[in-house]
Structure 1
């Protein structure tokens, strides 16, 4: 577990490792006649994933968007430590969101193509990504955060954030424009972020802390 400072807070980084399986794009099926060029065709006339089979399909990625999302937050605690003392404080974290990795529309080879999509995007972004079908809720064993602090006096809140990743793609077999699926992969990075911030600190906060501040810091909590 690495540590890095955050303005007005102490931050800890926790890593979760999501296994990424490799898979080739294969499917059995009868040969199909090639469709005409997609020029002049409508979305309704293009083949849907259930209508065709693909061998050796490839992904082309469009816009890739990453966003830190608040996954869990604690109650606010007033921590007062006199000079010359060090105190350990434990914060209980309550899950706020459940994430699910998915690809839309579904790809023709199902789970195998979904894994191939994640592997391809992971290579492009150089990061570990959750597999299609995986869900994330902060595990029971990670719902406490204990920190040691010296002289301090403030109302503190603990947070856990997850970096979600969404990317548009084209998946095709390269056969004159036939057998093409356009869609979006939604997943998240395996590395999570955890930290503390103080209610009422007048400084620019990251997005995760801003959301938590609005939820937890209020009258009687240092604001």
Structure 2
């Protein structure tokens, strides 16, 4: 792979970023956009056809996933990974009954339903129904940066009637969706929320903890209450 140029994401000391410090489009970087969470990060790269490759890496053991999708909502292929390398026999390819060229361009308030076939490396398949719900536009804060965002709910129902709900947030200015996790329909769900965004790869300290811009801007702890004055004897 050709080494690409890295750009530094600088944060001003007051905890707010100048407009140029926050990537506003994928043209702001030649080396992808990195979104950091508390214990993992995701790199997003847009391909020439507008689809997106996302590479998720967990800090603890290097495990993760590689996903090729359209808008995040329409997964085309996925793999398990270890330290960024693909793990054999873990690929899944999803085909859509309507064809990739007929998948919708997403916008707030839109709903879509379609049939898919998910094929595993071992040749087994899952025939599923996918329901996509785009919620009204809101804003998402990523460290010092703020973006218009479109929450997405993707419900995948298998032939046995069991349904799984994935939740994402699409950033229209950047053209990719941040994945928050998922759960079986009806189960409680606690989303993974990002803490920072950068055009520079995140950094960790010797303990594997995110540092610098990748750690976002946590609210500082309140100062301790002053000690009461001591009366002299």
| Normalised-by-shorter TM-score class | under 0.3
What TM-score does the superposition give when structure 1 sets the normalisation length? 0.26
Higher alpha-carbon Rg: 1
